[in-house]
Amino acid sequence: MSAEQKIILGSRGSDLALWQAHYIKDQLEALGHLVELKIIVTQGDRVQHLSFDKLEGKGFFTKEIEDALLGGEIDLAVHSFKDLPTSSPEGLEIAALSYREDPRDVLLIRKSVYQPAGTFGLAQKAHIGTSSARRKAQLRTFFPDCTITDLRGNVPTRVRKCQDGQYDAIVLAAAGLTRLQLDLTDFETVYLEPEVFVPAPAQGVLGLQIRQGDMRMAGILSAIHRPDVAETVNIERGILAAFEGGCHMPLGVYCKKTEDGFVVYTAKANTADELPVYVRNTGKDAAELIQRSLDKANVTRTPSVLITREADSWPLLTRLLSDRGLQVHYQSFIETFPLSVADWPETSWVFFGSRNAVKYALASKPDLLHHKKIGAVGPGTAQMLAEAGYKADFEGRTSDVEAVAAQFADMISPLTTVLLPLGAQSAGTLVRCWQKRFQLTTRTVYDTRLVTETPRQAEILLFTSPSNVEGWLASGGNPTRQTAIAMGKTTFEAMQAAGFKEPVVAEGYSELALASTIFGLR
């Protein structure tokens, strides 16, 4: 092979950048190409004392590499795709994308401060290190009292700073940790699900950049391009482009493909000190998804919201809505009371279908969960368990109770014994789904009665149960005037029967899902 056919590959010199460059180099060499690696220092490498949002301009990890590419010093640049501006400089183009490594963020927590019952295993007043505006905004969502200070340096340097006790925890991309295979035995490693802690657009993907019109390199790279990755990542970066944002924007976007099209999660704040607006969109058309994400995240309405729960039941939801000027009112139209349980069966699992089931079961039998595996229907129930000092071994991740029931049944054997504490008025969906799947025992631990009082006025109503729909109606509520949201299928059916016009089913049971549903109302 002649020298003219050699490919000069440009990369930053950090450990992770070199791993990425060598990965692409190995792929190309396996196809028979001769590749030489050239290290280029960027502004982001030189300036280590400023956080990312204080560095001037866009592309501070890429500009010098792109200049070398334009100048003909290199033939190919390998970038972390999330670091690239949404449009290449004139004369350059992205010719190929790599596979996508784990897109999640990871919370590395020093073992001495790890709290299993805390949010993500971390205390509220923890000292957390990150220089990402996106991560700062989302951390403040979950840890309003935390201290966040900037964290710079390559990945091993950041890890060492946390090991040395400069931080209680730090946030890093899972992709970098996986690729570098660092020793993390000094930490509790908590992976943050991308639907909850939304990653940067294109996180975990490598972008391969060439000179525009370089047909030789375009042909070579077509052999390693991943069109399946491009399909979802182009939507993520399309949303970034719609916001006219760069690496420093407090914007998280995550897109995944489903049988019915795509699901897109967006978390957008204006500054690192502001709570994000969380929105979720589904559909098949990429352009429509991008536009809807933009429209919903730019919240301009400031209506009032009435939530049919006890006062301040959901502090995270309240903060997310209030931060955007929405007035939040709580008013429950039911009250719960305990029922005595004569005997408690011995089972290997205890599964909870509601927060009230946790509350009343543990009040009746405080040692109920000792030496048991624990299931929770959703994040709210899991959080109630965490507040009581227990970690759920199974946690439902969808608002479809039947789907959660199927997932749980599929993971245990037909001989497994399960106790299901429930309310006297419970819809019985779990019981119906599980009757022939395993050995199920139920105990009724609480009941409800209606509370009749004048409903507070609000433009948006969020109903948490069919009983609250009944109580609201009995209190004089008019179902024809408000925008209404139902938590779950049975509540939705009760609202339809009551005369609500086109009620909306909440996207899930978590506070983030409820906020996303409310932000999505136009």
- How far is the first Cα of the chain from the last one, in angstroms, to the nearest whole number? 61
Question: Are residues 485 and 518 in contact, defined by beta-carbon separation less than 8 angstroms?
Answer: yes
* Rama region for 228: left / alpha / beta (φ>0; ψ in -120 to 50; rest): alpha
- Listing DSSP states for 435-453 in one string gives TTTSEEEEEEEEEEEE---
**105 labelled catalytic:** no
d(C-alpha 168, C-alpha 122), whole Å: 9
The size of the chain, in residues, is: 522
The strand ranges marked E within 178-309 are 187-192, 205-211, 251-258, 261-268, 277-283, 304-307
Backbone angles phi, psi at 284, to 5 degrees: -110, -25
**Which residues lie closer than 8 Å to 251 by C-beta, 6 or more apart?**
134, 200, 201, 239, 240, 243, 245, 266, 267, 268, 269
Q: How far is CA 245 from CA 81, 96, 133, 271, in A?
A: 14, 22, 12, 12
**Of 75, 83, 102, 168, which one is the catalytic site residue?**
83
Q: What is the DSSP letter of 308?
A: S
Catalytic residues: 83
